[in-house]
Amino acid sequence: MSRGVSLAFPPFTRTVKTLIGINVAIYFLTLLLAISHQDAGVSAIYGTLSLIPREVVHGHIWQLVTYSFIHGGFFHIFFNMLTLWMFGSSLEQHWGRRQFTEFYFFCVLGAALVTVLLSYAGGQVLHLYPTTPTLGASGGIYGLLLAFGWLFGEQEIYMFPLPFRIKAKYMVAVLILIALAGALGDPSGSGTANIAHLAGVVFGYIYLKFLPRRGFAFAFSESFYGMRNSYHRWKRRRAARKFQVYMRKHNSDPKQYFDEYGNFRPPDDIDKDKKDGGKGGWVN
C-alpha cells in the first residue's frame, strides 16, 4: 500500500531557501524599478540575465545560469518557487545540500544549452530564434519534478485543484505531457519556456539514469583519489626496482631487507638474524 504525503508544509531547507531568496530579491528589484519608472534599469536586468542565444554564443555565457533567477510575472515566479519549495525540500533532505545543488543546476544548464542549440537549428518549427529571450527556473523545476517522481513515485500527493490524490509518477507524466503539448502546439512563439521544461526533464533523466548515484563531485573525488593512489603505487614499485638494482650491484640479496610479505625489516632484526646464523629464536 502506497504512503500518502502529509498536507503539512515541508521545511525550508538551506539550498531551497537560498534559491528562493535570490529569485524573489531579483523579482522585487525589477518590480521596484518598474514602479519607479526606471525602464532602462529593468531592461538592463532582463537583457543581462535572460538567456539570449545570440549573446551566449558571443561570450555572455553567464546567461546559461542567470536566466533561471528572473521571471516574467507574479504567477510565473509564484508557481515556480512554490514547486521548488514543495518538491525541492524533500529532494534536498534525501540527497543532501551538495548533490541537490548539483542536480538542480545540471538541469538548468542542460535546458539552457538545448534552448541555444534549438534556437539555431529548430527556428521555424519550434518558433525559437537566436534573439528570443528565455527566462525562468522552469528547466530546473521540471528536473526536480522528474527526480521526485523517480525517487518517490509511489507516494500520493494532492494535485491542485483536483480534489483527490495522485501518485507522484503520474503527476510528473501529466506535467511533462502538458509541457510537450505547449512546446509543439503554440504558434505564437511563447513556447520557448516549454522547451526549457522538456530539456530540464531530459537532463534530469540523464543524471538519474547514467551518472553515479552520489553525483559528479563523488565521482570526481573517487577518480582523483584513485589516480593519486595509482601514482603512489607506481612510485613505490619504481623505488623497489631501483633498490634491487642497487643491491645487485653491491652483491647483496634484497630479500634480507624485506620479510615474506614485502614489508621492510628494521636493521635490528637483520643484525639479530646475522648473530644467530639466520636460524631465528634462541642460540644455545
What is the average pLDDT value for the chain, to the nearest integer? 79
**pLDDT given for residue 168 in this prediction:** 87
Band of pLDDT at residue 179, cut at 50, 70 and 90: confident
Res 164 pLDDT > 70: yes
List, for residues 66-111, the tens digit of each pLDDT value. 999 999 889 989 999 999 998 999 999 999 999 999 999 999 999 9
Give the pLDDT band (50/70/90) at residue 284: very low
Position 204, amino acid: G
Whether the model pTM is above 0.85: no
Average pLDDT over residues 172-189: 71
In the chain, the percentage of residues whose pLDDT exceeds 90 is 45
Write down all domains in the chain, each with its CATH number in brackets: 14-211 (1.20.1540.10), 222-275 (no CATH)
pLDDT interval class at 19 (50, 70, 90): very high
Residue 281: pLDDT band by 50, 70, 90 thresholds? very low
At 141 the pLDDT is 94
The one-letter amino acid at 166 = I
Bridge partners (DSSP) of residue 264 are 258
In 3-state terms, what secondary structure has residue 191? coil
pLDDT band at 275 (very low <50, low <70, confident <90, very high): low
Percent of the chain with pLDDT over 70: 66
Does the pLDDT value for residue 192 go beyond 70? no
What pLDDT sits at residue 280? 46
pLDDT of residue 157: 80
Nearest Cα neighbor of 113 from 78, 61, 36 is: 61
Among the listed residues 146, 116, 109, the one whose alpha carbon sits nearest the alpha carbon of residue 131: 116
Query: What pLDDT is stored for residue 233 in this prediction?
Result: 73
Taking the CA atoms of 23, 25, 29 and 35 in sequence, report the sign of the dihedral they define.
positive
How sure is the predictor about 51, in pLDDT bands with cuts at 50, 70 and 90?
Answer: very high
pLDDT over 60 at 58, yes or no: yes
Digit-coded pLDDT (tens) for 104-123? 999 999 999 999 998 888 66
- Burial environment of residue 209 by CB neighbours within 10 A (0 to 12, 13 to 18, 19 or more): exposed
The number of CA neighbours under 13 Å toward the Cβ of 198 is 17
Q: Which residue has the higher pLDDT, 55 or 230?
A: 55
